[in-house]
Structures are given as structure tokens and as C-alpha cells.
Amino acid sequence: MIERWRIRTFVTVFLSAVILDQFTKYLIRTTFYFGESKNILGNFLKFTFVLNENAAFGISVGPRWLYVLIVSIAIIFIVYYFFKNINRANATEVVAGTLIIAGAISNMIDRLTIKYVVDFINFGIGVHRYPYFNIADSCVVVGTILLFWSFSFMRRHEK
């Protein structure tokens, strides 16, 4: 039986992340023209409406159906592994795993509904820019960093 706080944490973080990601993408799709860019923090942070048909950072992995299949299998595996081990996870790991799942599922929602992932966040200095991304991508990255941090440092102090 999964402890209640773990389920509440999962549901709260999951819904918050997916709703925030989908809402920001909706705002971009409905208030920006495709390719339109607006400075948010000078030239350092920009919001630009782009559509990504490829994997992370625009990496092509073949036909769309193959990518959707591979990512769907990965999501199923991650969700299964997460819930199989959730009672052994500390709070940081529950949040981290949930962020990774939420980010992956939210981007999959885009792929299944509009056939692309909406990306819009872009930062950098001058012509040196980081690739476009969205809130879901940020969830996956932050979740991965939190897991690494927990496994590397927090687990040592629990023993």
C-alpha cells in the first residue's frame, strides 16, 4: 500500500506541472504568431513561438510514429518503476520522479493533439542561445537533477 503523503505529493506536483505547462503553451499558441519573439528580460530571456517535431534539442529520431512509440514505452516503464519503488523513495525523490513523469506526459499530450511540441523559452547572450524549451522540459531536467542530488548526497546521510 502506498502511503497517503506520497500519493498526495504525486497528484499535486503532477497536476501542477502539467497544468502550468499546458497553460503556458496555450498562451503562447493563442497570443503569439508562429515565429514571433518577445524580449522578457532584455535580450537574455525571450519567448518565441516555435514547434518542435523532433526529440530534445531538435534531435531527429525518424518518423513521428516511431518517436511516439519509443517515448510511450519509456513513459510506461518510468511510471511502472516509479510506483513499484515509491515507498522506498524519500520526499525529494517522489517530487523528482513526479516532475520527470509530468514533463514527459505533458510533451506527449502535445505530440498526440497537435503533432508537435510547443517550445517558447529561449535564453542566452547575443547569438549564443540555448535551444528552445518549455515548462515540461524544465520539469524533466529539474527532476533529473533532484534525483542525482538525492542519490549522490541525501542517501549518504540517511544510512
Report pLDDT digits (tens) over 98-120: 999 999 999 999 999 999 999 99
- pTM confidence score: 0.91
Residue spans of the domains in the chain: they are 4-32+48-158
Q: CA–CA distance from 60 to each of 26, 31, 108, 135 (Å)?
A: 25, 28, 16, 21
Predicted local distance difference test score (pLDDT) of residue 154: 74
| Catalytic residue set | 119, 137
Report the distance separating Cα 147 and Cα 120, nearest Å. Answer: 26
Residues 144-150: contacts with CB under 8 Å, at least 24 apart: 144/96, 144/100, 146/92, 146/93, 146/95, 146/96, 146/99, 147/93, 147/96, 147/97, 147/100, 149/92, 150/90, 150/92, 150/93, 150/96
pLDDT over 80 (residue 59): no
Q: How far is CA 92 from the centre of its chain?
A: 17
124 close to 39: Cβ distance less than 8 angstroms:
no
| Residues 78-104, mean pLDDT to the nearest whole number | 96
Task: Quickly state the pLDDT bin for 158 (edges 50, 70, 90).
Answer: low
